Amino acid sequence: EAQVTQNPRYLITVTGKKLTVTCSQNMNHEYMSWYRQDPGLGLRQIYYSMNVEVTDKGDVPEGYKVSRKEKRNFPLILESPSPNQTSLYFCASSPLTGWDQPQHFGDGTRLSIL
Amino acid sequence: DQQVKQNSPSLSVQEGRISILNCDYTNSMFDYFLWYKKYPAEGPTFLISISSIKDKNEDGRFTVFLNKSAKHLSLHIVPSQPGDSAVYFCAASATNNAGGTSYGKLTFGQGTILTVHP
C-alpha cells in the first residue's frame, strides 16, 4: 500500500530537548515536504526536498532542520524545541513531475512542547 | 504576510445544494493552484488543481474556477453530500522559478470548514 508514515504520532516533551520526527514514503517519490498546521493559519511549509541531498526552505523554517540522505526518508529535527513549535505536523511526498501529480500526506504528528 | 487567503472560516450548506469555497491570492507569480480536503485525524488529500493557462477545471462533482485578473479562485461542489463535510484548503505555487519563489514551494490558505447538513 502506497503510504507516507510519520513517527511518532503524538509527543509531549519539554523545552530544549532535541527531538526528531521521522517521515518515510514507499512510493519512490523525489519530492518530500514538511508542513505545520496551526489554528487560523492553515498549513505552512517548513522545508521541502526535491531529491536526495537537495533541500530548501519553505515559509517557516526557523527552529527546524531537515536532511535527505535517502530517497525514502525525510526527518524533521528540532534541535532546541520551544513552546511556539507546539503544532500538528504533516509530511508529504510526490513525484517530481509537477503539481498535477498530487502530494500524498502522512496522518500527522501532534507535538506539544512544554 | 498571508499570500493565500480563505476569508470564510466556515460554510454550512444543505445536502444537494451547491457549496462554493473561495480563495484569494496576492502573489502574481503563482501559476498553479490546488485544493485539498482534510478530515479530522487524517492528512490532507488532493481534490483538484488548475494551472493559470486555464480558467476552469472539472472533476465529477468538483469544479475549480480561476479568475487571474481578480487573483481569485473558487471551488464548487455540486451536489453537496454529508461526506463532503471537512476542512478545505486552497494552495498555490509559482512553478517558473521567477520572482524569488521556486518550484517546490507551496503556500496554503487558512482553510474553510464545510458542513453539509442532511
B43-67: pLDDT as tens digits: 999 999 999 999 999 999 999 999 9
Instruction: Read off the C-alpha cell for A59.
Output: 515559509
Q: Do B95 and A98 touch (CB under 8 A)?
A: yes
Give the gap in angstroms from C-alpha B77 to the nearest C-alpha of chain A.
19
Residues of A in contact with B45 (CB under 8 A): 105
d(CA A112, CA A109): 10
What is chain B's mean pLDDT, rounded?
91
d(CA B1, CA B104): 19
Q: Do A44 and B108 touch (CB under 8 A)?
A: yes
Handedness of CA A52, A55, A61, A63 (dihedral sign): positive
Q: Do B41 and A107 touch (CB under 8 A)?
A: yes
Give the gap in angstroms from C-alpha B15 to the nearest C-alpha of chain A.
26
CB A89 within 8 A of CB A75: no
Q: Which of A104, A79, A106, A110 is nearest to A23 (CA)?
A: A106
d(CA A98, CA A77): 27
Give me the amino acid identity at A85. Answer: Q
Q: Residue B58 pairs with which residues in a beta bridge?
A: B63
The verdict on B80 touching A (C-beta cutoff 8 Å) is no
Residue B108 in this model has a pLDDT that exceeds 60: yes
B72-96: pLDDT as tens digits: 999 999 999 999 999 999 999 887 6
Residue B102's pLDDT band, with cuts at 50, 70 and 90, is: low
Q: Are strands A42-51 and A54-57 parallel, antiparallel or unpaired?
A: antiparallel
- Residue A95 pLDDT: 87
d(CA B51, CA B67): 11
CB A52 within 8 A of CB A71: yes
Q: Do B49 and A42 touch (CB under 8 A)?
A: no
d(CA A21, CA A81): 12
pLDDT exceeding 90 applies to what percent of chain A? 86
Instruction: Read off the C-alpha cell for B56.
Output: 476552469
